[in-house]
């Protein structure tokens, strides 16, 4: 059971960042995962009053506040027009509407959960995270860094992807993905991300020319096999290592059929 | 800590423990329709409307609801009763434990989308688990309710 000793609704990013310097201070996002932990939290910081719940659009990017909910990115028409509905597809299987009304984009990313559908999709879209103290960090770099305690202000998605698609397999409708795949076409590169392996999403970039050549020469199966072999897989209660590798080949093939 | 919540149209001021969930808060103020189900954000039995939006009160800090409007089934009784009758007629309420969350989420769906397709109903209510039925009864009940509104 979770026990909170002090609950602070931060009035400013400065206040939240200051509180985070104290040991064991936790930011409360949707609180769904925090609540599952058996521990005492000396100070819980609520950032819901910081105005980080907006999605804005510029000529070159979408900026998504860290307190934006999964339901907001699911139902944002302009964002999903750009992303060919891949963002909505990625989150619509996450529990239910009530859960997605409070689970946040920030919480989905900073937890760095292996099963995350958000990370897989945002990694394919080459998202950049904007931290209050640490500044801007590309998501692909963030995932390889050691954990640090900072206030995530927003996530930006550049309008570079010409096409993107998201695929996943779940054992039942609201469960975690057994495996998820997102593929984006950015300029002459395909950004292929495989997540829930069950480890955290991993990105591989390949040239679009190679993919098109494989398609022309009817060698897509061999081509996909070689890509799927670049990821590592493990077993857990949702699926074996071998099943996941098989799923990766199937989902990458389906994604490429859409993109190419 | 002191909070003030508009609960079903009535302002409730209270001094709460920092970790108190909204579920514990509303039940302690007599709103027993809100059920303590899975306690892991999965079953939907604890659904309430926060400023009209359905959320899981088992995972929502009561402190965050300070200054907001919270609606439970007790606050929308007439609407709930009319939908509930159609669900009951399909034999889909059975033990009844999931019903308050189910009906409250249905009300939220219909406010957001007054003319949902069957697939849209399924998608919106997927977070409400029912261990008695196969979900088709609830779907038929909601469809019958919607048909009755059009007559």
pLDDT for res A193? 98
- Across the interface, of A41, A95, A101, the residue whose CB is closest to B54 is A101
**What pLDDT band is residue A28 in, cutting at 50, 70 and 90?**
confident
Picking from B54, B59, B110 by the largest number of A CB atoms within 10 A of its own CB, the best residue to mutate is: B59
Closest residue in chain A to residue B127, using alpha carbons only: A96
Burial string for B89-125 (b: 16+ CB within 10 Å, else e) reads ebebbeeebbbbbbbbbbbbbbeeeeebeeeebebbb
Bridge partners (DSSP) of residue A46 are: A9, A28
**What pLDDT band is residue B130 in, cutting at 50, 70 and 90?**
very high
Bridge partners (DSSP) of residue A43 are: A6, A25
Kindly state the tokens that stand for A116. Answer: 């995350």
pLDDT digits (tens, 9 = 90+) for B67-116: 999 999 999 999 999 999 999 999 998 899 999 999 999 999 999 999 99
pLDDT digits (tens, 9 = 90+) for A6-26: 999 999 999 999 999 887 899
pLDDT for res A77? 98
3-class DSSP state for residue B71?
strand
How far apart are alpha carbons A159 and A57 in whole angstroms?
Answer: 10
Kindly state whether A218 is in contact with chain B, defined as any CB-CB distance less than 8 angstroms. Answer: no
How far apart are alpha carbons A111 and A116 in whole angstroms?
Answer: 9
Mean pLDDT of the region A38-49: 90
Higher pLDDT, B115 or A30: B115
- Angle of helix A220-228 relative to helix A208-216, nearest 10 degrees, comes to 140
Cut 0.90: pTM above it:
yes
Q: What percent of chain A has pLDDT over 70?
A: 100
| Dihedral angle sign, alpha carbons of residues A137, A143, A144, A145 | positive
pLDDT for res A38? 78
A96:B59 CB<8 A? no
Mean pLDDT of the region B42-52: 97
B18:A5 CB<8 A? yes
Nearest CA distance, A173 vs chain B (angstrom): 8
B19:A28 CB<8 A? no
pLDDT for res A36? 80
How far apart are alpha carbons A118 and B120 in whole angstroms?
Answer: 22
Contacts of B55 in chain A (CB under 8 A): 98, 101-102
pLDDT for res A30? 81
Taking all residues of chain A, what is their mean pLDDT, rounded to a whole number?
95
Question: What ipTM is given for this predicted complex?
Answer: 0.96
- Secondary structure E strands in A36-150: 40-46, 55-57, 61-65, 128-131, 135-138
């Amino acid at each position: 059971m979770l026990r909170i000793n002090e609950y602070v609704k931060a009035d400013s990013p400065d206040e939240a960042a200051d509180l985070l310097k104290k040991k064991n201070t936790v930011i409360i996002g949707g609180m769904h995962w925090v609540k599952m932990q058996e521990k005492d939290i000396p100070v819980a910081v609520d950032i819901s009053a910081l105005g980080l719940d907006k999605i804005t659009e510029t000529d070159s990017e979408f900026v998504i506040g860290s307190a934006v909910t999964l339901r907001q990115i699911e139902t944002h028409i302009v964002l999903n027009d750009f992303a060919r509905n891949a963002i909505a597809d990625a989150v619509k299987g996450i529990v239910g509407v009530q859960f997605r009304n409070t689970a946040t984009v920030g919480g989905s990313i900073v937890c760095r959960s292996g099963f995350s559908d958000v990370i897989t999709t945002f990694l394919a879209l080459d998202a950049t995270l904007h931290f209050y103290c640490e500044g801007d960090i590309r998501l692909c770099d963030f995932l390889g860094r050691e954990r640090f305690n900072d206030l995530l202000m927003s996530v930006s998605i550049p309008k570079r992807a010409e096409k993107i698609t998201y695929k996943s397999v779940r054992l039942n409708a609201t469960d975690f993905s057994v495996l998820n795949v997102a593929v984006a076409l950015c300029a002459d590169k395909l950004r292929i991300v495989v997540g829930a392996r069950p480890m955290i999403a991993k990105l591989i970039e390949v040239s679009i020319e190679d993919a098109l050549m494989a398609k022309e020469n009817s060698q897509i199966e061999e081509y996909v096999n070689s890509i799927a072999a670049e990821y590592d897989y493990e077993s857990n209660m949702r699926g074996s290592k071998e099943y996941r590798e098989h799923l990766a080949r199937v989902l990458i093939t389906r994604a490429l059929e859409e993109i190419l | 800590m002191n909070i003030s919540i508009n609960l079903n149209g009535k302002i409730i001021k209270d001094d709460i423990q920092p970790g108190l969930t909204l579920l514990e808060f509303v039940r302690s103020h007599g709103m027993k329709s809100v059920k303590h189900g899975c306690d892991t954000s999965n079953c939907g039995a604890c659904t309430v409307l926060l400023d009209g939006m359905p959320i899981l009160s088992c995972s929502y800090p009561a402190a965050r609801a300070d200054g907001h409007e919270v609606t439970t089934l007790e606050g929308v009784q007439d609407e709930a009763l009319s939908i509930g009758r159609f669900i009951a007629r399909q034999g889909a309420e059975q033990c009844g434990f999931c019903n308050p969350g189910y009906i409250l989420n249905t009300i939220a769906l219909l406010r957001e989308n007054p003319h949902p397709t069957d697939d849209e109903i399924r998608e919106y209510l997927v977070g409400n688990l029912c261990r008695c039925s196969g979900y088709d009864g609830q779907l038929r009940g909601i469809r019958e309710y919607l048909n009755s509104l059009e007559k």
